[in-house]
Amino acid sequence: GAGVSQSPSNKVTEKGKDVELRCDPISGHTALYWYRQSLGQGLEFLIYFQGNSAPDKSGLPSDRFSAERTGGSVSTLTIQRTQQEDSAVYLCASSIRGRSGTEAFFGQGTRLTVV
Amino acid sequence: GDSVTQMEGPVTLSEEAFLTINCTYTATGYPSLFWYVQYPGEGLQLLLKATKADDKGSNKGFEATYRKETTSFHLEKGSVQVSDSAVYFCALNTGTASKLTFGTGTRLQVTL
């Protein structure tokens, strides 16, 4: 597609369930980012993939959060045993290369609500 | 570590007023600086950027100048329109860290 695609756009889940969020980056982009945007808050960095390098997981808030990027393209963010504080908009972005000065293109996000 | 500080919003202006949204940063090395904008119901999109000191980024009538001496990248527009109502995020990245570090965002509301 022409842009970064995320699915689902909305997800309501019960506390304690696992959820998977998907991101399809722009074709040819080697860098992929996940961010979290909570109500009234800024963008919180979660994880960053660049090519075949080991991902930067320094922003993952707990071991309930994990992410994979298969074949250097599609990425899945998994949240296990969801908690109410996990409710937020999860944003994915990609860039042609993960270097200073390069523009990141964002998807529309997945709005996660944990009830 | 890297950080970005933005003025808190919301900022409410009348149409045709002058806009300034302050942004200062802390970074190791020489960062690139960005302003992203999030219009209601839309995703984040790049508004402008500057990659070295004294560079001026500009787009859609918005400008920001990379000031290394004051570690600032303030966003300005001479005459805002209702259609500029959005949330504006200042951000940076460096060659070493690569990830984008964002400020908390500033909501701008422009009224007739």
Chain A residue with the nearest C-alpha to that of B91: A43
Average pLDDT over residues A76-105: 90
pLDDT for the residue B79 = 96
CA distance A13 to A3: 27
Q: Which of A43, A98, A103 sits opposite B102 (nearest CB)?
A: A43
- Residues comprising chain B, all counted: 112
Average pLDDT over residues B79-100: 87
Neighbouring CB atoms inside 10 A of A6's CB total: 25
Chain A residue with the nearest C-alpha to that of B50: A101
φ, ψ dihedrals at B83, nearest 5°: -70, -10
How many CA atoms, within 13 angstroms, populate the side-chain half-sphere of residue A14?
1
CA distance A97 to B59: 23
Mean pLDDT score across all residues of chain A: 92
CA distance B20 to B13: 11
Q: Which of A48, A59, A106 sits opposite B44 (nearest CB)?
A: A106
Q: Which of A103, A106, A108 sits opposite B49 (nearest CB)?
A: A103
Distances from the Cα of B89 to the Cα of A40, A99, B106, angstroms: 13, 19, 7
CA distance A30 to A111: 25
Chain B residue with the nearest C-alpha to that of A109: B43
Tell me the sheet residues that pair with A94: A32, A105
What residues in A contact B100, CB-CB < 8 Å? Answer: 33, 43, 45, 93, 104
**Could you read off the pLDDT of A41-77 as tens digits, one per residue?**
778 999 999 888 889 999 999 999 999 998 879 999 9
Q: Which of A36, A10, A109 is nearest to B44 (CA)?
A: A109
Secondary structure of residue B88 in the 3-state scheme = strand
A24-37 CB burial, b ≥16 within 10 A, e <16: bbbeebbbbbbbbb
DSSP one-letter string for A33-98: EEEEE-TT--EEEEEEEETTSPPB-TT--STTEEEEESTTS-EEEEE-S--GGG-EEEEEEEESS-
**Could you read off the pLDDT of B12-70 as tens digits, one per residue?**
999 999 999 999 999 987 899 999 999 988 889 999 999 999 999 999 999 999 999 99
